[in-house]
Structures are given as C-alpha cells and as structure tokens.
C-alpha cells in the first residue's frame, strides 16, 4: 500500500512539475507577442491618411519592414507600394515615429491599406 501511494505521489508531482514548467516556458513567448503587437499598433496609430488619397483613388496597400530599438526609435528597412508617391509618404511617416515603452528590439512587418474616404 505504501509503495502504491509513493508511486502515485511521484507521478502526480511529475505532472504538476511538467505543467508548471510548460506554463513558465510559454509566458516569455506571450510577452513577446504582446510587446510586438503594442509596437505595431503604436506605429499604425501614428500614421495619418495622406491628402493624396481622394474618392477616386482605389485601395492602395503599402508594405513596410521596420526595426524598433529599445529606445523606441523606428528604422525603416524596406517600403513597397505600387504607388511611388504613397511609398515616399509612408517612408517619411515611419521615419518620424518614436514609440514609448518598448521592452526590447522588435522587427515589425506592416501592411497598411489606405482606403479613400
């Protein structure tokens, strides 16, 4: 009987320990995702709609890859758009952005769709 209880205690302890370690291992990943999402939202929030967008303009998409360092400074790696004027506009907008409360350096891929209002 004592042997059976010891075996059950060891198995229970093992599963509790593995479950706890699994939770601990997943927390940094969740924090990293939350941090990246915060940075992405702050960047998008700071981009204004350009005046060149008019009712006659179709939906225009801009893709950008940026790095944000620990101080919140945004560095543009690449900007792509079929509309050169919008590409230049986006490049200028991104270079002027500074993000507060950045936990660590983040590389962000943005896809921004400008829709004429």
Instruction: Using DSSP bridges, classify how beta strands 60-68 and 106-114 pair: parallel, antiparallel or unpaired.
Output: antiparallel
Asked if 80 and 62 touch (Cβ cutoff 8 Å), the reply is yes
d(Cα 68, Cα 74) in Å, to the nearest integer? 5
d(Cα 58, Cα 74) in Å, to the nearest integer? 28
Asked if 82 and 57 touch (Cβ cutoff 8 Å), the reply is no
Q: Tens of pLDDT along 29-65?
A: 554 667 788 888 888 888 887 877 765 666 688 899 9
Task: Share the mean pLDDT of the chain.
Answer: 76
d(Cα 24, Cα 111) in Å, to the nearest integer? 32
């Amino acid at each position: 009987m004592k042997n059976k209880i010891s075996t059950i205690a060891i198995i229970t302890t093992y599963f509790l320990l593995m479950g706890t370690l699994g939770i601990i291992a997943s927390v940094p990943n969740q924090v990293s995702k939350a941090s990246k999402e915060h940075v992405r939202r702050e960047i998008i929030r700071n981009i204004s709609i350009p005046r060149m967008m008019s009712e006659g303009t179709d939906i225009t998409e801009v893709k950008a890859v940026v790095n944000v360092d620990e101080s919140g400074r945004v560095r543009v790696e690449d900007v792509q758009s079929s509309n050169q004027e919008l590409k230049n506009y986006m490049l200028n907008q991104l270079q002027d952005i500074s993000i507060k409360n950045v936990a660590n350096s983040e590389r962000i891929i943005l896809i921004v769709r400008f829709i004429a209002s």
